[in-house]
């Protein structure tokens, strides 16, 4: 499980693994997924890749390009109005999961911005927790 840049770490672990160390599932909250400069979080990009990374390095850490049939089931949640990490990160990842027949669920809430997991006033917390509990219960049954 990871949020924001931690979401990139969780997605990297879920797409750059061997069968022996594959996570059973992943939960991503408003994750940085891609290193594509048109949608990435530039601070994460520069911290991870440096000032002038090669195209190969950018592609390697663009996790939407690394999804394969061994990627674990995934729960993604984010807000449409996130101005820090573009929702396009999650959308591209979700599409890659579906293209590889990976069980995935994505919830996009209209308001809450970035970092809503730390906002005690996030008005969609109950629907989010209910959905996550249901997803976890079903996912764990199928492992």
pTM of the model: 0.96
Q: What is the pLDDT of residue 19?
A: 83
Domains and CATH numbers, the chain: 6-114 (3.40.50.1820)
Phi, psi of 48 (to 5 degrees): -85, -45
pLDDT tens-digit series, residues 3-29: 999 999 999 999 999 888 999 999 999
pLDDT tens-digit series, residues 90-132: 999 999 999 999 999 999 999 999 999 888 899 999 999 999 9
Q: Which alpha helices (H) appear in the chain, and where do they start and end?
A: 5-15, 42-49, 55-60, 88-99, 125-141
The whole-chain average pLDDT of the chain stands at 96
Give whole-number Cα distances, 5 to 99, 102, 122, 123, in Å: 24, 22, 20, 23
């Amino acid at each position: 499980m990871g949020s924001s840049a931690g979401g990139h770490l969780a997605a990297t672990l879920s797409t750059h693994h061997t069968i022996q160390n594959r996570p059973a599932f992943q939960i991503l909250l408003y994750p940085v997924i891609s290193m594509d400069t048109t949608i990435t979080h530039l601070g994460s990009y520069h911290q991870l890749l440096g000032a002038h990374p090669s195209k190969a390095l950018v592609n390697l850490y663009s996790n939407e390009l690394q999804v394969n049939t061994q990627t674990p089931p995934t729960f993604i949640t984010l807000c449409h109005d996130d101005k820090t990490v573009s929702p396009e990160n999650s959308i591209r990842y979700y599409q890659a999961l579906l293209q590889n027949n990976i069980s995935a669920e994505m919830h996009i809430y209209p308001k809450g911005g970035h970092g809503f997991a730390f906002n005690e006033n996030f008005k969609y917390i109950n629907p989010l927790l209910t959905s996550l509990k249901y997803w976890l219960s079903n996912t764990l049954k199928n492992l």
